[in-house]
């Protein structure tokens, strides 16, 4: 286990983190796409961490304020290479993508037909919603043998989709209950 | 408020909001709109909506991009850089400290229990967030089909999601959606 951890850390060079999160940022169009590409990079392609640990980091980031995607770069950078990894991940995620998109965006705002832009946006946002749903379903796979986990996933889903409650209220309402039940289930299996 | 005073006020406002935007940055967007459109008149409502749309279609961290475009409108390039940093700088520090703390107790029994409890809720919220986005985005049956195909491709095939976005964006740009 310790050996396995070390080899993972060796494989994650600072430049790989920088380039990896640069790609995640460049590809995440349309909001929510960041999770899709971040999972693809760190779990499927680089295999830096598994689906379980990725879901773990997502949970932590969701609790914290701020743009959650940057939080993923911070946590994974820190997990693999410490503070230097944080800087590599965050710099990759922000500097070049923001420079490109800012230049292009301000140019577009002065020169383009916004109807065309709205058309492209409608296609991209329909697809990115689907990509996000699909990624969530993939993350749910390791949980599928735990009825209580599926039940709380369904409650969180329902709370977000069918009520007008703010995200944080749902999180604070369900999380303590879910953790308590997990604790009780843990006692029983021991 | 205008000129440098406006730039400084906007930057400080964003730094504060970024630190209290629990549950994600979109939760404070209404407050930002009130501040830049209603209270200070730096942008029109139309411009605010356009900046949002632009940030969505362009690659990169879109909320940070949107804030830097608002900064640019208020005080040019220096303010654009300041507002971008204000949007992600303070939360990054908080993420780092929280993760260090979490990681230190990685093998503690309470954390394993907390993880078992929290992860399903997070996953439910991701699928729910996608569904909420779909409800806003899917205005006709064609776009519903696009959403379903995109979800199915992620679940079944390891296709690069970029191609899905490019194909859907092209269809939208051609007026098919």
Chain B interface mutation, best of A116, A133, A162, A164, highest count of B Cβ atoms under 10 Å: A133
Q: Residue A51, Cβ neighbours under 10 Å: how many?
A: 17
Segment (H or E) for A83:
helix A68-111
Task: State pLDDT tens for residues A11-20.
Answer: 689 999 999 9
Task: Give B-chain residues touching A160 at CB under 8 angstroms.
Answer: 124-125, 128-129, 131-132
**Integer-rounded Cα radius of gyration of chain B:** 20
**Per-domain residue ranges for chain B?**
1-104
Q: Which structure tokens are listed for A175?
A: 């999380």
Cβ contact A19:A91 at 8 Å = no
Within 8 A by CB and 6+ apart from A70, the residues are A90, A93, A94, B61, B64, B88, B91, B92, B95
At A129 the three-state DSSP class reads: helix
Cα–Cα distances in angstroms (integers) from residue B50 to residues A18, A67, B31, in the given order: 30, 20, 17
Asked if A45 has any chain B CB less than 8 Å from its own CB, the reply is: no
Confidence class for position A188, pLDDT limits 50, 70, 90: low
Which chain A residues in 23-42 lie under 8 Å from chain B, judged by CB atoms?
25-37, 40
Asked if A147 has any chain B CB less than 8 Å from its own CB, the reply is: no
Residue by residue, pLDDT tens for chain B (177 residues) are 778 899 999 999 999 988 877 666 766 777 888 899 889 999 988 788 778 777 877 888 888 999 999 999 999 999 999 999 999 999 999 999 999 998 888 888 888 888 888 889 888 888 888 888 788 778 889 999 999 999 999 888 877 788 888 899 899 889 887
Reported as half-sphere exposure (CB side, CA atoms, 13 A), residue B121 has a value of 27
Task: State pLDDT tens for residues A131-180.
Answer: 889 988 988 988 888 999 999 999 999 998 898 777 778 888 998 999 99
Q: Which structure tokens are listed for B124?
A: 């439910």
| CB atoms B56 and A124 under 8 Å | yes
Confidence class for position A100, pLDDT limits 50, 70, 90: very high
Asked if B157 has any chain A CB less than 8 Å from its own CB, the reply is: no
Within 8 A by CB and 6+ apart from B38, the residues are none
State the pLDDT at residue B58: 83
ipTM value greater than 0.85:
no
Q: Which structure tokens are listed for A151?
A: 């039940």
Confidence class for position A9, pLDDT limits 50, 70, 90: low
Q: Which structure tokens are listed for A76?
A: 């994974």
Segment (H or E) for B112:
helix B109-137
Chain A interface mutation, best of B15, B18, B23, B139, highest count of A Cβ atoms under 10 Å: B23
């Amino acid at each position: 286990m310790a050996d396995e951890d070390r080899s993972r850390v060796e494989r994650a060079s600072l430049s790989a983190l920088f380039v990896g999160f640069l790609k995640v940022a460049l590809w995440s169009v349309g909001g929510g796409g960041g999770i899709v590409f971040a999972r693809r990079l760190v779990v499927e392609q680089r295999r830096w961490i598994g689906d379980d640990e990725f879901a773990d980091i997502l949970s932590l980031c969701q609790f914290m304020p701020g743009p959650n995607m940057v939080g993923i770069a911070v946590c994974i950078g820190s997990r693999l290479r410490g503070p230097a990894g944080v800087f590599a991940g965050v710099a990759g995620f922000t500097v070049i993508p923001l420079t490109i998109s800012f230049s292009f965006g301000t140019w577009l705002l002065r020169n383009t037909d916004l109807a065309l832009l709205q058309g492209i946006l409608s296609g991209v946002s329909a697809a990115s919603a689907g990509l996000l749903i699909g990624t969530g379903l993939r993350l749910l796979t390791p949980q599928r043998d735990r009825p209580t986990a599926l039940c709380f996933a369904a409650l969180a889903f329902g709370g977000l989709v069918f009520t007008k409650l703010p995200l944080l209220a749902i999180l604070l309402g369900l999380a303590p209950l879910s953790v308590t039940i997990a604790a009780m289930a843990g006692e029983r299996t021991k | 408020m205008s000129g440098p005073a406006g730039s400084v006020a906007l930057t400080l406002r964003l730094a504060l909001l970024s630190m209290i935007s629990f549950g994600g940055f979109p939760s404070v967007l209404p407050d930002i709109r009130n501040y830049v459109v209603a209270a200070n008149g730096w942008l029109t409502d139309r411009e605010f909506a356009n900046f949002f749309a632009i940030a969505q279609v362009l690659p990169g961290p879109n909320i940070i991009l949107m804030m830097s475009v608002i900064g640019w409108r208020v005080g040019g390039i220096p303010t654009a850089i300041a507002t971008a940093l204000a949007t992600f700088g303070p939360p990054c520090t908080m993420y780092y400290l929280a993760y260090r703390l979490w990681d230190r107790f990685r093998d503690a029994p309470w954390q394993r229990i907390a993880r078992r409890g929290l992860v399903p809720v997070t996953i439910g919220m991701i699928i729910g967030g996608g569904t909420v986005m779909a409800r806003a985005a899917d205005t006709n049956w064609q776009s519903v089909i696009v959403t379903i195909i995109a979800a199915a491709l992620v679940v079944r095939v390891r296709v690069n999601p970029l191609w899905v976005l490019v194909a859907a964006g092209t269809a939208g740009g051609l007026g098919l959606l």
